[in-house]
């Protein structure tokens, strides 16, 4: 969100294996393992006069180098749907492991606003808490109230933070947005866990870690909508 016009974003116990994840996932690996992998395969696409979508799939469990980093056999499927001026990104995880699999899925979209310089952009942060970060920008587990006004101007402000305590609307969604003069991007957005959430959960300071049961499935989406372009 550091590079966009006004955008809105809506955000929508495992056992010993969690320790295994903690040992394999180094704290500095904040952007995951698979974002740029050539092993993704397109499994479907379609379009009509109202919408378009494309689905890709990664069979994570097939690759020893992936499993050495995250020792849970699973499949990832992602679908991008464009309809009514909104982009939905849906992620589905199927757990093939013999134990519950912790979930640390997150998204990192970038946006560009053209009708105002960055110092004039206004950001709406739909969060009541800000997590304290270490010098490596990794959450320590400590939380404090969100110190930023609503909206916050990016003039003299650098946001590279982790937020929690999402402020949700009537539909249960937390909407973050970035706005220029007229252009606005709204994102219904979030992460399934905070950065380094596995290690923090193992240390007992992060209680919200989700997991997928053996043979189970996890499904979630985030959305991006634009106005004034």
Task: Give the per-residue pLDDT at 103.
Answer: 94
Kindly state whether residue 219 falls inside one of the protein's structural domains: yes
Tell me how far apart the alpha carbons of residues 158 and 8 are, in angstroms, rounded to a whole number. 18
Kindly state whether residue 1 falls inside one of the protein's structural domains: no
| Over residues 61-86, mean pLDDT | 95
Query: Domain holding 61: CATH number?
Result: 2.70.98.10
Tell me how far apart the alpha carbons of residues 137 and 157 are, in angstroms, rounded to a whole number. 16
How much is the mean pLDDT over the chain?
A: 84
Task: Give the per-residue pLDDT at 28.
Answer: 46
Judge whether residue 73 has pLDDT over 70: yes
Judge whether residue 17 has pLDDT over 70: no
Kindly state whether residue 189 falls inside one of the protein's structural domains: yes
Q: Is 182 left (phi over 0), alpha (psi -120 to 50) or beta?
A: alpha
Kindly state whether residue 33 falls inside one of the protein's structural domains: yes
Note down the domain range covering 15: 7-227
Kindly state whether residue 2 falls inside one of the protein's structural domains: no
Task: Give the per-residue pLDDT at 174.
Answer: 87
Residue 2 pLDDT level (bands cut at 50, 70, 90): very low
The closest alpha carbon to 151, from 173, 130, 119, 126, belongs to: 126
Kindly state whether residue 84 falls inside one of the protein's structural domains: yes
Q: What are phi and psi of 16, to 5 degrees?
A: -65, -25
Judge whether residue 130 has pLDDT over 80: yes
What are the pLDDT digits (tens) for 151-200?
A: 999 998 988 888 989 898 888 888 899 999 999 999 876 788 888 888 89
Judge whether residue 25 has pLDDT over 80: no
Kindly state whether residue 167 falls inside one of the protein's structural domains: yes
Kindly state whether residue 180 falls inside one of the protein's structural domains: yes
Q: How many structural domains does the chain have?
A: 1
Task: Give the per-residue pLDDT at 189.
Answer: 65
Judge whether residue 51 has pLDDT over 60: yes
Task: Give the per-residue pLDDT at 229.
Answer: 86
């Amino acid at each position: 969100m550091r590079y966009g016009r006004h955008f809105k974003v809506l955000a929508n116990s495992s056992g010993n294996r969690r320790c295994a994840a903690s040992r394999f996932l180094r704290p500095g690996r904040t952007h995951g393992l698979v974002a740029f992998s050539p092993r993704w395969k397109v499994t479907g696409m379609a379009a009509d006069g109202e919408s378009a979508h494309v689905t890709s799939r990664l069979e994570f469990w097939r690759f020893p180098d992936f499993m050495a980093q995250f020792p849970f056999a699973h499949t990832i499927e992602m679908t991008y749907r464009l309809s009514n001026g909104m982009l939905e990104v849906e992620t589905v995880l199927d757990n093939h492991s013999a134990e519950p699999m912790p979930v640390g899925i997150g998204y990192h979209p970038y946006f560009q606003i053209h009708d105002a310089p960055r110092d004039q952009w206004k950001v709406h942060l739909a969060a009541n808490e800000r997590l304290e970060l270490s010098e490596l920008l990794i959450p320590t587990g400590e939380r404090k109230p969100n110190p930023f006004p609503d909206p916050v101007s990016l003039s003299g402000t650098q946001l590279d933070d982790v937020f929690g305590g999402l402020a949700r609307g009537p539909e249960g969604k937390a909407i973050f947005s970035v706005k220029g003069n007229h252009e606005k991007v709204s994102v219904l957005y979030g992460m399934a866990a905070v950065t380094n959430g596995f290690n923090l959960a193992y240390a007992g300071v992060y209680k919200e870690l989700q997991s997928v049961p053996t043979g189970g499935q996890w499904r979630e989406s985030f959305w991006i909508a634009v106005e004034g372009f």
